Amino acid sequence: MIELSLKNVNKYFGANKIFDDISFELHSRSRVGLIGRNGTGKTTVFKIIAGLEDHNDGQVTYRKGSTVGYLDQIPDYPNHKAGSVLKLAFKELTELAEKLKSLEEQMSDYENPKYEKILSEYGELQHTYEIKGGYETKEKIDRICSGFKFTEEFLEKDFDILSGGEKTRVILAKILLEQPTILLLDEPTNHLDLDTVEWLEEYLKDYEGTVLIISHDRYFLDHVVTEIYEIEGMTTQKYLGNYTYYVEEKERRILEQLEKYKQQQKKIKALEDAIKRFRDWGTRADNEKMFIKARAVEKRIDRMDKVDRPKTNHKKMALSFSEERRSGKEVVSIKDLYKGYDDKSLLEDADMDVRFQDYVALLGKNGSGKSTILKMLLEEETPDKGILRLAESAKVGYMEQEIVFEQPEKSIIEGFKEKYEMTELEARKKLARFLFYSDDVFKTIGNLSGGEKVRLSLCMMMEEKINFLILDEPTNHVDIESREMIEQALRKFTGTVLFISHDRYFIDQLATKVIQIEDKKLVTYDGGYEYFKEETAKNLVDETPIIKEKKERLKEVKEVSGLNIFKQKELENLEEEIETTELEILKIEKEMATYSENYEKLLTLQKDIDIKKEHLEQLMDSWMTYQ
């Protein structure tokens, strides 16, 4: 069933045409990615679908009864807590609940002459309330809050005082709770950590409605969408697969069209040569028939359905980093490192080795210490204890998360040639290798886009003759094309790379080793991102914080003194039951990992865990009486 159809839609802003022929269909429960270079009009398409923008021509049609959910800008919710904003998703159900409550009060009067009518109305309303999921609202809110990691404390905060990112998360959660039949998500993974992004992926796979997504997160697109529409040349092209399929299929189509173009051009060249010969023969022999044949061949060329030469927008950066000399085999060595702030430890007994030509992705939750490790390598911080050693021969190039240039008021060409003392011609040649052509070089450095800043930063690093690159979120605020350019540039680097990134596709493309901060330690996975995911999936079931705390308390008492033999036996039995209960909890948690897409089963298992944890608490309280 078709939920939404766009046919030959075009849009102008003033005299500027944004797109000319946007055409696609969204079917029920389809998962579709809308991609294209920045400026091609993707967000404008969303606004047209959501009714926030008019289109100049073409048709936009919806299935009868369809609703559209789209996060455009953050609305104001004065006098609302974050939690109450979420509940606005169930405004209709709240009103129904109030009507039911009112009817219940009226039903308490059995002498009311309208009692039967009230009873009938109550039954109808109750049925409607049930059909619309009124009795499931708490479960739905709990599931969303769990996925977005909204704590009770967070839900009690005034919506007005939340940060922009926090407000975005709340409104996105509210839209998901509303469950529109057509869900428009524009960069939904912004402001979300990896765990929440992965939860959102699973949530969208089970979503009952139709989902249309704009995203620079290629890994997210790979795992969620099954169709892709690309806006290119002011029109749309359809690809029946995820992002990886799109990349392969687009290349195949380009090569196929290029071959058709070459064959047609070869044929046209042969026909044009024939025209010349006919005219030449006609002139020599004064033969009108030859001119008639020439005109016939010309008409044949004119009638041809011309094949356009395919456009290859994927510009290549022709570069190689200027490495002065290679670093030693061991570039970074960290042993038994301890780092803390304000009497709180951040890293404890941390070990890490980075060797020559390793491409290492450093992962960990926000606040786990990733940036601190980079600062220690850059000598901006020092370890409290332990060893952190950087090879003497390592020449470090660092790209921070928010790239700052020394002279942002200058043009690219001015800043570059002055910094490296070269002529304008030399500077233009070097900048052109990073796709800064013609008038591009006169752009003011401070006004560059995220992708342009990354390219300029890499261009400058080339002049520094570095052999060890440290990158902090290099793909933040960068479109897909720029991300691919960065990946292409880094693949040509023959030194060592250590980078922090939340872009899983970027990590998957580059990392040869993944190091994750887990429980204040550094755990090394000797493989790429997929290997890391496989290994961590094996260890999904781990001891919960409560169980760890209890075990630590058990370990504190090595010997039991002052107990007779009967009490000693009671204690041993109690400790055995504690251990058995812990194992039962771990077993259920392992079972939960196999039901990640079955919400009802997960709820049942979670209730079992809660019961066993409560029993465990009682056992631990009994155990404490022996201490």
* Average confidence (pLDDT) over 494-515: 93
| CA-based torsion, 613, 614, 617, 618: positive or negative | negative
pLDDT band at 627 (very low <50, low <70, confident <90, very high): low
What is the pLDDT averaged over residues 426-442?
88
User: Is 558 a residue whose pLDDT tops 50?
Assistant: no
In this prediction, residue 559 carries a pLDDT of 44
Q: Indicate the residue type of 492.
A: K
For residue 469, what are its two tokens?
A: 């690159």
* CA 291/CA 278 separation, integer angstroms: 6
Q: In DSSP terms, which residues pair with 500 in a beta bridge?
A: 472
Share of the chain above pLDDT 90, in %: 49
CA nearest 354: which of 464, 136, 243, 511? 511
Would you say residue 557 has pLDDT above 50?
no
Q: How many beta carbons lie within 10 A of that of residue 81, not counting itself?
A: 15
End-to-end Cα distance, the chain:
67
Q: What is the pLDDT of residue 483?
A: 86
Given a contact cutoff of 8 angstroms between Cβ atoms, the answer to whether 351 and 523 are in contact is: no
What integer pLDDT is reported at residue 543 of this predicted model?
46
Residue 379 φ/ψ region, left for φ over 0, alpha for ψ in the -120 to 50 degree band, beta for the rest:
left
What H or E segment, with its residue span, contains residue 101?
helix 91-107
Question: Could you report the per-residue pLDDT of 178-188, keeping only the tens digit for each?
Answer: 999 999 999 99
Amino acid 462: pLDDT: 79
Helices 545-556 and 565-593, interaxial angle, to 10°?
Answer: 160
What pLDDT is attached to residue 54? 94
Q: How confident is the model at residue 444 (pLDDT cuts 50, 70, 90)?
A: very high
* Closest to 373 (Cα-Cα) out of 360, 388, 385, 358: 388
Give the residue extent of every domain in the chain: 251-303, 330-537, 545-624
Q: State residue 561's pLDDT score.
A: 43
Give me 12's structure tokens: 């102008």
Q: Which fold has domain 330-537?
A: Rossmann fold (3.40.50)
Chain segment 326-340, per-residue pLDDT in tens: 666 899 999 999 999
Tokens encoding 218: 């290629």
Q: Average pLDDT for residues 229-235, to the nearest whole number?
A: 93
Q: Is 187 helix (H, G, I), strand (E, B) or coil?
A: coil
User: Which spans in 10-68 are helix H?
Assistant: 42-49
Name the residue with higher pLDDT: 120 or 47: 47
Do the Cβ atoms of 364 and 370 come closer than 8 Å?
yes
- 595 versus 33: the higher-pLDDT residue is 33
Q: Is the pLDDT of residue 290 over 70?
A: yes
Model confidence at 548: pLDDT above 60:
no
For residues 5-32, average pLDDT: 94
> Alpha carbon 607 to chain centroid distance?
32
Which pLDDT value is given to residue 550? 46
DSSP string, 332-373: EEEEEEEEEETTEEEEEEEEEEEETT-EEEEE--TTSSHHHH
Convert 200-264 into a string of H (helix), E (strand) and C (coil).
Answer: HHHHHHHCCCEEEEECCCHHHHHHHCCEEEEEECCEEEEECCCHHHHHHHHHHHHHHHHHHHHHH
- Report the pLDDT value the prediction gives residue 314, as an integer from 0 to 100: 53
Is the pLDDT reported for residue 91 higher than 90?
A: no
Rounded to an integer, the average pLDDT of 415-422 is 90
Helix axes 412-419, 450-462, angle to 10 degrees: 20
Given pLDDT bands bounded at 50, 70 and 90, which one contains residue 539? low
Segment holding 19, helix H or strand E = strand 16-27
Higher pLDDT, 102 or 220: 220
* Separation between Cα atoms, residue 396 and residue 469, nearest integer Å: 6
Single pTM value for the model = 0.71
Q: Give the mean pLDDT of 305-324.
A: 68
The encoded tokens of residue 48 equal 């047209």
Winning range, highest mean pLDDT, from 74-78, 153-157, 487-491, 591-595: 153-157
The pLDDT tens digits for 350-367 are: 999 999 999 999 999 878
Q: How many CB atoms lie within 10 A of CB 415?
A: 20
- Which pair of tokens denotes residue 510? 């580059």
pLDDT at 600 over 70: no
pLDDT of residue 212: 97
Please tell me the predicted confidence (pLDDT) of residue 469: 93
Residue type at 576? E
- How far apart are alpha carbons 93 and 282 in whole angstroms? 86
**Beta-strand relationship, 210-214 and 31-35:** parallel
pLDDT at 313: 55
Mean pLDDT of all residues belonging to the chain = 86
Quickly list DSSP for 378-438.
Answer: TTSS--SEEEEEE-TT--EEEE-SS---S-TTSBHHHHHHHHTT--HHHHHHHHHTTT--G
Q: Give the count of beta carbons closer than 10 Å to the beta carbon of residue 178.
A: 16
